[in-house]
Copies of this chain bind each other. A is one copy, B any other.
Amino acid sequence: MSKQPLPKLEDVARLAGVSTATVSRCLNQPNQVVEATRKRVQKAVDELGYMPNFNARSLAAKRSKIIGAVIPTMENAIFARAIQVFQERLSEEDFDLLVASSSYKKDVEEKQIRSLVSRGVDGLLLIGTQRDRKIYEFLQEREIPFVIAWSFYDKRDEATSGQLVGFNNQKAMASIVQLVIEKGHRKIAMLAGIKDNNDRASSRIEGFKAKMAEHGLMDPCVIECEYDIDKARKAFAGMRQTFGTPTALICANDVLAVGAVLEAQSQGLNVPDDISITGFDDIEIASIISPALTTVHVPHKMLGLHSANTLLANINDARIADDMELKTNIVERYSLAEPKN
């Protein structure tokens, strides 16, 4: 059974007795075509089982109805969830989603961005602001709308064109540190994310340090660790050995916090009686682990939704939408308490 040639626009035109231009209009700007012909064309389309060839369309029309997204990894629930909503929203507007993941690697991300642009994406979703200036220039030169999700800064670095849809990582982290300090903790350490090429991780560390300094707690212990439960366990174990055990451990995200909790418990520590541990993100595991984590709630789905809306606005109106700051809030559960000693 060999592939019979698929019907093309021309075949539809012939069958309907109109020109290709009219068929094209029926498909793309139906209101420019009078009802009678539109119906005739529709009939021909149905009869032939015609489906447009999007590559040809993209080539001729110079728009692809494809949005590209480069995220660090889909294994991280926070991105998966946001991407899911992002995609659903785009789908409503007949855009499809080309995804790539960079595994947090700068050069991989750059390659992927270029590849997506080569594919003629109409817009791009990126995570965080930290990347080579030349990439921003590249995108601007080609006039590709893009939004940067997850980060938000009050003052913009000029280099980052594109729209920001995110939250202030530094402030959010500072707020939970503030809470921990208010509970009476002084010996506080941080289990942080890897800050290389990751402005969210850096900002959270800054937020921690700044708030500590504000209370006269200088040079606190900060250990960077990859996003992984087991690595977090080891990192926490190492921290205890090297720096001793803090009364409170601030984690840059819930996965690290879960690792720390698990390790603390297996080392015979009671959370929160012996050590308080806080998370960041408020993903599912935060409320499943026992004790449930006191953590910073991040509106992941909102991030996905607003990123989509902002991007669509920029594509359709060619008018630059505003940056959007989303709010986080602390959800207090049971992993944070006043220090016992």
Contact = CB atoms under 8 A, between A and B. Distances in A.
Interface of A: 1, 3-4, 6, 51-56, 58-59, 64, 66, 73-75, 77, 80-81, 83-84, 87-88, 91, 96-101, 103, 112, 114-120, 140-143, 229, 258, 262, 284-285, 288-290
Given A59-B59, A288-B289, A75 B80 contact: yes
Q: How many of these chains are in the complex? A: 2
B55 A59 contact: yes
Contact of A285 (B81, B142, B262, B285): B285
Contacts of A52: 118
A55 B64 contact: yes
A120 B229 CA distance: 40
Contact of A290 (B96, B116, B290): B290
A56 B59 contact: yes
A258 to B, nearest CB: 6
A99 B99 contact: yes
B101 A98 contact: no
Contact of A55 (B103, B119, B142): B119
B120 A99 contact: no
Contacts of A229: 284, 288
Contacts of A116: 96
A88 B101 contact: yes
Nearest to A262: B288
Given A55-B55, A58-B55, A91 B80 contact: no
Q: Name, among A55, A64, A117, A289, the residue most crowded by chain B CB atoms within 10 Å (CB to CB).
A: A55
B81 A3 contact: no
A99 B100 contact: no
Nearest to A115: B96
15 contacts: A54-B118, A54-B120, A55-B64, A66-B98, A74-B74, A75-B84, A77-B80, A80-B80, A87-B101, A88-B101, A91-B100, A96-B98, A97-B99, A288-B288, A288-B289
Nearest to A300: B75
A51 B139 CA distance: 13
A120 B84 contact: no
Contacts of A112: 91
A4 B143 CA distance: 10
A84 B101 contact: yes
A74 B66 contact: no
Contacts of A117: 51
A115 B54 CA distance: 9
A80 B101 CA distance: 12
B119 A96 contact: yes
Contacts of A289: 288-290
B100 A96 contact: yes
Contacts of A55: 55, 58-59, 64, 119-120
A91 B70 CA distance: 13
Closest 9 CB pairs of A and B: A80-B80, A74-B84, A55-B58, A55-B59, A54-B119, A74-B80, A3-B143, A55-B55, A51-B118
Nearest to A80: B80
A261 to B, nearest CB: 9
A66 B66 CA distance: 12
A85 to B, nearest CB: 9
